Amino acid sequence: MKEKITGAEALMRSLEAEGVDVLFGYPGGAIMPTYDALYDHRTTLHHILVRHEQGAAHAAQGYARVSGRVGVAIATSGPGAMNTITGIADAMIDSTPLVVICGQVGAAMLGTDAFQEVDVISVTQPISKWAFQIRKAEDVAWAVSRAFYIARSGRPGPVVLDFTKNAQTGMVDYEPARVDYIRSYKPVPVPTDDVIRQAAELINQSQRPLVLVGQGVELGNAREELCRFIEKANMPAGCTMLGLSALPSGHRLNMGMLGMHGNLAPNVMTNRCDLIIAVGMRFDDRVTGNLDTYARQAKVIHFDIDPSEINKNVRADVAVVGDCKQTLVRVTELLAEQKHTEWVDGFKPYRQEEEQKVILPAIQPSEGPLLMGEIVRRVSEATHDSAIMVTDVGQNQLFGCRYFRFSQGRSIVTSGGCGTMGFGLPAAIGATFGAPERTVCLFVGDGGLQMTIQELGTIMEQGAPVKIILLNNNFLGNVRQWQYMFFNKRYSFTPMLNPDYEGICRSYGIPSRTVTERAELDEAIRQMLDTPGPFLLQCGVKEEDNVLPMTPPGANVDEMLMEIK
C-alpha cells in the first residue's frame, strides 16, 4: 500500500526499518526538513544533539564499535558535512560501520557555489566505502537501505548520503526497500576447500606458529571460533591494538600486544616463528616496523575478508579470503592437536624481562609522581577487567592499551589507523549509548580532551555516564617523547598551559575530582565508579613519562628499546 510522504519522512521510516534507535547529529539550514520530520519520530529515533559535527561522527563510531550495529550521524550541508570528515576517514581506516547523512543544497542549485554548498561526494569518495547523492525523494528508500547494507556487510565501513533539500521536501509514493544484493559487490568471498586444506597443512607442519589477532575477529563475531582455533594446536597469539579484546587478556595463549609499543615477547617471536597466521589484521606499519626484515623466516597465512589486503604489505603463502567466523572453523576441523610446549615456553623469558624492566616500574612505582600506567591498571582492576576502555590518542592511548585488561569482546574503542586526537570524548559518549549496561572508561590527555571538549555539553545534557580519566601531564606527551628521542630534546610547542578542568566540569555540572597522591588513587577511582552518571577524574601525572618498550619508527620488529638512554 503506497502512501504519499516527503523524502524527509521517507528517511525516518527507512531508518526505523533498518532498526536505528540512536542518531548523533546537529541541525542546520539544508537539513532542516529532515529535522522537522525527526520531530515526529523523536520517541523511536533517539537523537543526541552533539556540540560539533565531528563529535557526531566519532560518537556514532563509538556506538558502532561497542554494539556491532551501524552508527548514524546527521549534519547539515557545507561546514556541517565537512566537520564529519575526520570521523568518516577514521571509520574507513578502522573498518567501522557508519552512515553519515548530510544535507545538501537543492538539486537545481548544485554546482552554483550556493550558500553552504560543498561538493561532499567528491570530498568523501576516497575516504568512504560508498558515497551517494540523493537528488529526488523517490531514491530515499533504496539509497538508505543500500547504504546500511554496504556499511555493515563484508569489511564494514562508512557510507555517506548527501541529501539534497528538494529530495527532502519532495513527495514520494513511499514503499519500503530492502537491498541485500548488489551485483557488483561480493561482501563475503568463500574460499575453496583446497585453500582451507593448504592452510591447515601449513599449520600442522609448523613447529613455531604465531597467530596475529586483529579487529576482524571482533567484526566477524568470531572470538569463540578463534579460541578453539588457537587452543586446538596450542598456538601462541599476539593482538593488534584494535584486536586487544578479541582474545581475553588472561587467556594462557595471549602473549600480549603487537607493534611499536606492544609487548616484547610477541614482537621478538615474530622474527623467530616459522609460521605467521594473521587473522583479520592488515599488517599496518605500526605493527610490522621495517617490512624488509619482518618475519622473513616465516611462511604466512592471511585470513581476511577483504581481498585487497592480501599481499598489500606482507606476501601471503596462503590467503584465506572470507568470513573468519566460518573459515576459522573450517581450518580448525583439519588441525592436528599439538602442544608446541618448547615454543610456547620460549615466550616466558621475554615476558619476564619486560615485566621486570618495564611493567612493574610502570604499574607499581613506589615513589615519585603518579604514572599513567598505574592509573590505567587500577581502573582496570576496579572494574574487574570488564569495562569498555575508550582512549584518545597519544600516551594515554598507548598506556591504556598496554595496561588495561579485557575479559569481554568489543571492549576497546580507540582511533587506530587514523590516530585522531579528539576522538576519545565523543566516542565514549557513543559507547554509553551502544552498550548502556556496561561501564565506559575514557583515558584522555590534556591535549586531546581540549580538541573536542565541547562535548562535555552533550554529556551534561544526556547524563551520559562516561568515566573520564584525564591523564594530565601539561604536555602533548607522545610528541614530546618523540622530540626527546628523535629531535634532540627540542620541545617545540609541546608544553601546554592548561585551564582549570574542575572549574570547567563545575560549569557543566559534571562531578569531578583531582588526584595527585598515590595513597588517594584507589579511593578516587572508587568514587568515580560509584558516582552515578558522568565523572571526571583528573590525575596529575609525571610530566615527562615515556611509553616503553618501543620499536622506533622504521626499525626491525624485534629490536625494541626497553629503556631510553
Partner 1 sequence: MDCDKSKAGQCGDCESCGRCEKAHEGETLYTMLIYSENFAGILNQITAVFTRRQVNIESLNVCASSTPGVHKYTITCYCTEEMAKMLTKQIEKKIDVLQAHYFTDADIFILEACLIKVSTPLILDNKDVSRIVRMHGARIVEVNPTYSIIEKKGMTVDILSLFQQLNDLGVVLQFVRSGRIAVTKSTTERLDKYLEERLREKC
Tell which one of 16, 306, 385, 522 touches partner 1 (CB under 8 A).
Answer: 306
Q: Which of 428, 358, 418 has the alpha carbon at shortest distance from 393? A: 418
The least distance separating partner 1 from the CB of residue 213, rounded to whole angstroms, comes to 23
Grid coordinates in use for 523? Answer: 579511593
Measured in residues, the chain has a length of 565
Give the interface size with partner 1 as a residue count (CB under 8 A): 20
- Tell which positions 87-146 bind partner 1, by CB under 8 A: 121-122, 125-126, 129-131
In what order do the strands lie in the sheet containing 254-257? Answer: 254-257, 237-239, 209-213, 275-279, 299-304, 318-321
Tell which one of 46, 197, 312, 340 touches partner 1 (CB under 8 A).
Answer: 312
Tell which one of 2, 39, 112, 181 touches partner 1 (CB under 8 A).
Answer: 181
Q: Cα separation of 380 and 123, whole Å?
A: 40
Residue carrying the nine cell digits 582549570: 500
The least distance separating partner 1 from the CB of residue 52, rounded to whole angstroms, comes to 28
- Tell which positions 354-373 bind partner 1, by CB under 8 A: none
Phi-psi region of 154 (alpha: psi -120 to 50; beta: other; left: phi over 0): left
CB atoms within 10 A of CB 292: 9
Q: Which is nearer to partner 1, 159 or 541 (CB)?
A: 159
The least distance separating partner 1 from the CB of residue 148, rounded to whole angstroms, comes to 13
At residue 472's C-alpha, the angle toward residues 539 and 458, to 5°, is: 90
The least distance separating partner 1 from the CB of residue 348, rounded to whole angstroms, comes to 39
Q: Cα separation of 560 and 551, whole Å?
A: 5
Cα–Cα distances (Å) from 122 to 116, 133, 269, in that order, read: 15, 10, 44
Q: Which residues of 221-242 are buried (b: 16+ CB within 10 A; e: fewer)?
A: ebbebbbebbebbbbbbbbbbb
The least distance separating partner 1 from the CB of residue 463, rounded to whole angstroms, comes to 39
Please choose, out of 306-314, 369-377, 447-455, 466-474, the segment that lies near partner 1 by the rule CB under 8 A.
306-314
Is residue 184 part of the contact set for partner 1 (CB under 8 A)?
yes
At residue 406's C-alpha, the angle toward residues 403 and 412, to 5°, is: 85
Q: Which is nearer to partner 1, 306 or 522 (CB)?
A: 306
The least distance separating partner 1 from the CB of residue 125, rounded to whole angstroms, comes to 6
The least distance separating partner 1 from the CB of residue 121, rounded to whole angstroms, comes to 6
Please choose, out of 304-312, 330-338, 427-435, 497-505, the segment that lies near partner 1 by the rule CB under 8 A.
304-312
Please choose, out of 69-77, 171-179, 184-192, 210-218, the segment that lies near partner 1 by the rule CB under 8 A.
184-192
Q: Which is nearer to partner 1, 77 or 391 (CB)?
A: 77
Q: Cα separation of 82 and 77, whole Å?
A: 8
Query: DSSP secondary-structure letter at 336?
Result: P
Q: Cα separation of 75 and 30, whole Å?
A: 9
Cα–Cα distances (Å) from 508 to 188, 317, 487, 500, in that order, read: 46, 56, 39, 13
Q: Which is nearer to partner 1, 156 or 266 (CB)?
A: 156
Phi, psi of 288 (to 5 degrees): -90, -25
CB atoms within 10 A of CB 553: 12
The least distance separating partner 1 from the CB of residue 129, rounded to whole angstroms, comes to 7
Is residue 307 part of the contact set for partner 1 (CB under 8 A)?
yes
Tell which one of 3, 42, 44, 185 touches partner 1 (CB under 8 A).
Answer: 185
Tell which one of 183, 339, 490, 565 touches partner 1 (CB under 8 A).
Answer: 183
CB of 266 within 8 A of CB of 257?
A: yes
The least distance separating partner 1 from the CB of residue 322, rounded to whole angstroms, comes to 15
Give the strand pairing for 171-174 and 3-6: antiparallel
The least distance separating partner 1 from the CB of residue 448, rounded to whole angstroms, comes to 28
Phi, psi of 539 (to 5 degrees): -110, 115
Q: Which is nearer to partner 1, 185 or 487 (CB)?
A: 185
Is residue 292 part of the contact set for partner 1 (CB under 8 A)?
no
Tell which one of 204, 297, 308, 386 touches partner 1 (CB under 8 A).
Answer: 308
Please choose, out of 47-55, 218-226, 257-265, 305-313, the segment that lies near partner 1 by the rule CB under 8 A.
305-313
CB atoms within 10 A of CB 437: 4
Please choose, out of 18-26, 52-60, 182-190, 391-399, the segment that lies near partner 1 by the rule CB under 8 A.
182-190
CB of 548 within 8 A of CB of 358?
A: yes
Please choose, out of 179-187, 200-208, 230-238, 547-555, the segment that lies near partner 1 by the rule CB under 8 A.
179-187
Q: Which is nearer to partner 1, 309 or 545 (CB)?
A: 309
Q: Which is nearer to partner 1, 291 or 344 (CB)?
A: 291
Q: Cα separation of 141 and 145, whole Å?
A: 6
The least distance separating partner 1 from the CB of residue 106, rounded to whole angstroms, comes to 18
Q: Which is nearer to partner 1, 33 or 97 (CB)?
A: 97
Q: Cα separation of 446 and 424, whole Å?
A: 12
Which stretches of the chain bind partner 1, using CB under 8 A?
121-122, 125-126, 129-131, 150, 181-186, 306-308, 310-312
